[in-house]
Amino acid sequence: MTSAPRIALSGSAGTGKTTLGRALAAHLGLPFLEEGMRARLEAGLDLHTLAPPALAELIEELWAEQDAAERAADGGFVADRSSLDYAAFWLHYGLYHDEPSTERFVERMAAAARRYDGIALCPWGVLSLDADGVRSTNPWVQLRYQVVVEGLLERYAPAGRVLRVPASELLERRVAALLEALG
């Protein structure tokens, strides 16, 4: 790879995306693009109080923020989510009843996924889910999201760009595997 890579991390909460992303970004000398949901949840947002239109608006807003950050990052980046994670949120939170809107949103996220040189898929169930008061510690909620995002990556990610993070608790092993996969 001749230019700095554009890497996005993907997977459910508690799979180590943020820790891995920060370490990978530091190793590559690239900016790390934080996801916006965590800050909102830590500030008190309760997703369960949002009606579907407000939830759809939030997902669109979060994607717009990430899209702008990705486009502004000249020379590569490591992002805490991929565009297809936002499509997974859309489906996970049951926003699929308006089929034309869902189709348009998923297609936009699939088109955006083509800008990544790699999408690092973190495996579910390897790391313990910490009770941090922000994410659900119900492993089955996280597995449901993971299955959705894996299906979207299988269907919409460009061929050869999904990089499977090894099922290891060791951060160094995860970083080394991604560096090797990136060439």
Read out DSSP for 160-183?
T-EEEPPS-S-HHHHHHHHHHHH-
Determine the residue type at 157: A
Going by pLDDT thresholds of 50, 70 and 90, the confidence category of residue 134 is low
Instruction: Enumerate the β-bridge partners of residue 7.
Output: 78, 118
Question: Could you tell me if residue 1 is inside a domain?
Answer: no
Domain holding 70: CATH number? 3.40.50.300
Domain housing 99: 6-182
Report the pLDDT value the prediction gives residue 90, as an integer from 0 to 100. 97
Report the pLDDT value the prediction gives residue 76, as an integer from 0 to 100. 96
Inter-CA distances, 97 with 106, 109, 143, Å: 13, 18, 22
Question: Could you tell me if residue 161 is inside a domain?
Answer: yes
Question: Could you tell me if residue 89 is inside a domain?
Answer: yes
- For residue 1, pLDDT beyond 60: no
Q: 6 or 41, which is more confident? A: 6
Question: Could you tell me if residue 77 is inside a domain?
Answer: yes
Backbone angles phi, psi at 7, to 5 degrees: -115, 135
**Span 174-181, mean pLDDT?**
96
Separation between Cα atoms, residue 107 and residue 179, nearest integer Å: 29
Number of domains in the chain: 1
Average pLDDT of the chain to the nearest whole number: 93
**pLDDT per residue over 83-119, tens digit each?**
999 999 999 999 999 999 999 999 999 999 999 999 9
The first and second tokens of residue 111, run together, are 């088109």
Q: 61 or 41, which is more confident? A: 61
Percent of the chain with pLDDT over 70: 96
Going by pLDDT thresholds of 50, 70 and 90, the confidence category of residue 42 is confident
- For residue 152, pLDDT beyond 60: yes
Question: Could you tell me if residue 136 is inside a domain?
Answer: yes
Report the pLDDT value the prediction gives residue 10, as an integer from 0 to 100. 98
Report the pLDDT value the prediction gives residue 75, as an integer from 0 to 100. 87
- Residue 112, exposed/middle/buried by CB under 10 A (0-12, 13-18, 19+)? buried
Q: Is 74 helix (H, G, I), strand (E, B) or coil?
A: coil
Question: Could you tell me if residue 62 is inside a domain?
Answer: yes
- For residue 23, pLDDT beyond 60: yes
Report the pLDDT value the prediction gives residue 97, as an integer from 0 to 100. 94
Q: DSSP class of residue 32?
A: E
Q: Is 9 helix (H, G, I), strand (E, B) or coil?
A: strand
Residues 6+ apart with CB under 8 A from 175: 20, 23, 24, 27
Determine the residue type at 166: P
Going by pLDDT thresholds of 50, 70 and 90, the confidence category of residue 133 is low
